[in-house]
């Protein structure tokens, strides 16, 4: 279908051009159809996106492969690439095409593509090239400075980096026209259309129910029993862990002909489409850690592998934001992989791979260990119940930092105080406190909230899936994960960025995002174990 903007006899388009004040302008090409303009726009979007994926690979490689002495050279590579990405994303031709195309007379898909293209173009043109370059260099240096500071437990050496990152974030918000609400600018970057105020409302509601639930669970005798069982899991050879992990992640649907898994300090997933890369880390005495973190990354990977390949890099072939991304990782990690059905299928194989390590472990003990709840100082080690408190803590600190209510020098102390208040534990070192996460090292502020929003979304999606397919868990017990993946592919993955997180939740589940589904899920899973 070719709709013509201008050209002979195209009166509607001519009217529109007149109305938009384009007629007679040199840029206006009366012979260009919307379809051909969209086609050219798509080519330019894909070019910029491909360069972005190369940058992502540089980042992956930096954390998986790069020797320490290569850090400065890598920073220069990031900077050089950032400059050409910026140039590609701010190509004036994109602006001209967007103006040609306008906003009306588009079908829903075209409108989604154009909306995304416009957003990206504005981001690209509002940020000066020199700023982008500086931020890229700072991001790479920041990562290495953070790794050193964490290893040396030395917040003082990291503070100037963090100060610079905050300064760059404020400058970025100002460039983008968010000067009065820089933290909202950071949130919008990761989750289009979401604001700190809305998140605060959701988190406050969640906290109200979650804090007493955590208190009840952690105060129960079963909590100590679960912790004791989990602590008994020791000496699981890494080679066999790798085998099991690979079997599980492939079984639930990760396509290893279009991706891989490696080892890094902090697990992550990067890449998209036909080249998705996950990382994990192995500990002999915490066999469930790398397994669940890998299932988590698999959720991210399934999402990226499920985007429409042909539209990769346009608004129809890019993920809907970090909250939706986290909903996918959390759903597979928690709702699926902590279920009894999942383990009915995988437990025999697990015991076969680790016969000596599991001989004194009953199936019920394993299930309890998988669903152990124990407040911890370290977010990435946290169970799914207390995890949300770690996020509320970080959100609160970021919010205060950006509001100017908290000075950097007081950050470690504020962390300790809030940690005691929410989690009931106070870190003795900054390594276990304010230095524990990678995110602030490259200025990824506004990212943390998406983890908890993702948890809420995952629970809400899960109950919708169960309503449609009550036998899901029995299918898991037979090693069948296809229906769930297919449903997520259709409802979420193939939707690209047509909808933001809130819109998508409403569209798929029929109601607005609410913490009550997460609370219901946690009560249903943990109640029988701890509060029965």
- Contact indicator for 414, 267 with CB cutoff of 8 Å: no
Residue that the structure tokens 């994109």 belong to: 94
- End-to-end, the C-alpha distance of the chain in Å comes to 61
Rounded Cα distance between 33 and 9, Å, is 13
Q: What is the DSSP string of 400-449?
A: HHHHTSS-GGGHHHHHHHHHHHHTS---SSSTTTTTS-SGGGGT-TT-HH
Tokens for 380? 């990435």
CB of 263 to its own copies, least distance (A): 13
Cβ neighbourhood burial of 433 (10 Å; 0-12, 13-18, 19+):
buried
Nearer to its own copies, 39 or 364 (CB): 39
Binding site for its own copies (CB under 8 A): 46-47, 50-51, 53-54, 57-58, 61, 65-70, 72-74, 76-77, 79-81, 83-84, 87-88, 255-260, 273-275, 312
Nearer to its own copies, 53 or 220 (CB): 53
**Catalytic site residue from 297, 304, 398, 432:** 297
CB of 277 to its own copies, least distance (A): 8
Nearer to its own copies, 261 or 529 (CB): 261
Question: Edge-to-edge strands of the sheet including 275-280?
Answer: 259-263, 275-280, 269-272
CB environment 408-427: b (16+ within 10 A), e (fewer): eeebbebbbebbeebbebeb
- Contact indicator for 103, 118 with CB cutoff of 8 Å: no
Residue 12's CB is within 10 A of a number of other CB atoms, namely 12
Active site residue 172: no
Rounded Cα distance between 246 and 325, Å, is 21
Opening angle at CA 59, ends 58 and 63, nearest 5? 115
Rounded Cα distance between 95 and 57, Å, is 28
Which residues participate in catalysis according to the annotation? Answer: 297
């Amino acid at each position: 279908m070719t709709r013509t903007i201008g050209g002979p006899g195209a009166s509607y388009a001519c009217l529109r051009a007149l109305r938009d004040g384009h007629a007679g302008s040199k840029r206006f090409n009366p012979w260009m159809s919307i379809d051909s303009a969209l086609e050219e726009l798509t080519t330019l979007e894909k070019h910029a996106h491909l360069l972005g994926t190369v940058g992502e690979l540089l980042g992956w490689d930096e954390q998986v492969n790069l020797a320490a002495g290569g850090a400065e050279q890598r920073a220069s590579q990031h900077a050089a690439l950032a400059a050409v990405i910026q140039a590609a994303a701010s190509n004036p031709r994109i602006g001209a095409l967007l103006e040609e195309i306008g906003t009306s007379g588009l079908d829903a898909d075209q409108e989604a593509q154009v909306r995304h293209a416009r957003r990206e173009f504005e981001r690209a043109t509002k940020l000066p090239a020199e700023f982008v370059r500086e931020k890229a260099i700072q991001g790479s240096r920041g990562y290495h400075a953070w790794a050193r500071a964490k290893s040396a437990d030395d917040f003082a050496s990291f503070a100037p980096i963090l100060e610079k990152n905050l300064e760059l974030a404020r400058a970025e918000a100002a460039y983008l026209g968010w000067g009065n609400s820089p933290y909202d600018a950071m949130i919008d970057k990761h989750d289009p259309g979401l604001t700190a105020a809305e998140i605060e409302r959701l988190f406050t509601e969640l906290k109200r129910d979650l804090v007493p639930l955590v208190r009840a669970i952690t105060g129960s005798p079963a909590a100590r029993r679960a912790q004791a069982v989990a602590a008994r899991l020791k000496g699981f050879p890494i080679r066999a862990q790798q085998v099991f992990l690979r079997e599980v992640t492939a079984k639930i649907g990760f396509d290893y002909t279009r991706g891989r898994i490696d080892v890094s300090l902090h697990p992550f997933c990067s890449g998209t489409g036909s080249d998705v890369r996950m990382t994990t880390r192995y500990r002999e005495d915490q066999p469930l850690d790398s397994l669940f973190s890998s299932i988590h990354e698999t959720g991210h990977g399934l999402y990226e592998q499920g985007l429409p390949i042909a539209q990769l890099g346009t608004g129809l072939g890019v993920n809907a934001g970090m909250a939706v991304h986290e909903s996918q990782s959390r759903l597979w990690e928690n709702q699926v992989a902590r279920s009894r059905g999942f383990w009915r299928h995988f437990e025999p194989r697990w015991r076969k791979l680790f016969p000596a390590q599991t001989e004194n472990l009953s199936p019920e003990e394993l299930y309890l260990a998988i669903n152990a709840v124990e407040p911890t100082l370290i977010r990435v080690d946290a169970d799914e119940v207390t995890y949300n408190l770690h996020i509320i803590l970080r959100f609160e600190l970021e919010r205060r930092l950006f509001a100017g209510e908290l000075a950097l020098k007081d950050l470690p102390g504020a962390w300790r105080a809030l940690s005691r208040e929410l989690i009931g534990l106070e870190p003795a070192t900054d390594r276990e406190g304010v230095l524990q996460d990678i995110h602030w090292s490259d200025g990824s502020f506004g990212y943390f909230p998406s983890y908890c929003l993702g948890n809420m979304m995952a629970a809400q999606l899960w109950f919708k899936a169960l309503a449609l397919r009550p036998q899901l868990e029995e299918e898991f017990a037979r090693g069948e994960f296809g229906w769930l993946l297919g449903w997520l592919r259709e409802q979420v993955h193939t939707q690209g960025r047509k909808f933001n997180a809130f819109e998508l939740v409403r569209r798929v589940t029929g109601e607005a995002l609410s913490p009550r589904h997460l609370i219901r899920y946690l009560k249903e899973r943990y109640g029988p174990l701890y509060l029965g």
